[in-house]
Copies of this chain bind each other. A is one copy, B any other.
Amino acid sequence: MRRLALVIACLVGMSAPAFGQKAEIEAANAKWIEFFNKGDFAGIASLYTADATAFPPGSAMVHGNTAIGEMWKSAAEKVGDPKLTTLDVKPLGPSAAREIGTFSLKTKGPDPKDVTGKYVVVWEKDGNSWKLATDIWNDGM
């Protein structure tokens, strides 16, 4: 019985924080968009874990939230109006979750184009906040 109680206690402890994960992650994504549109790339950096990794198509991995903020600052010279749609959030233990979604944005310049794609983010709980820990995307949806 004590063993069963332990198992139940572990399961409850593990699943309780999962409640509301999708809403919390969508709220973090809304902040990401707000920061991007304001040009607040330190704000964007603050949404990633300190040791996060981003995987921009066509170039090298970017390690660390400060470098990731700089990456988005450079990207914002070429693209704008980002939109994110969360399709699925799967809890992975008490302090991690996997998000699947789609994105759209517009290229800047004389001949602007719509770009659409899909992404996978692994989120980690950092104190009370969900933060992006890996962020990878590619075109096509």
Instruction: State the A residues within 8 Å of B (CB).
Output: 6, 9-10, 13-14, 53, 55-61, 92-96, 98, 100, 118-120, 122, 133-134, 136-141
Contacts and interface: CB of A to CB of B under 8 A. Distances in A.
B118 A61 contact: yes
Contacts of A60: 118, 140-141
B140 A59 contact: yes
Contact of A138 (B92, B96, B136): B136
Contact of A13 (B10, B55, B57, B92): B10
A120 B132 CA distance: 13
Contacts of A100: 53, 61, 134
A95 B11 CA distance: 13
A134 B13 contact: no
A141 B57 CA distance: 9
A10 to B, nearest CB: 5
A57 B139 contact: yes
Q: Which 3 A-B pairs have the closest CB atoms?
A: A93-B93, A92-B96, A57-B138
A6 B141 CA distance: 45
A70 to B, nearest CB: 17
B58 A140 contact: yes
A92 B96 CA distance: 6
Nearest to A123: B92
Contacts of A136: 118-120, 136-138
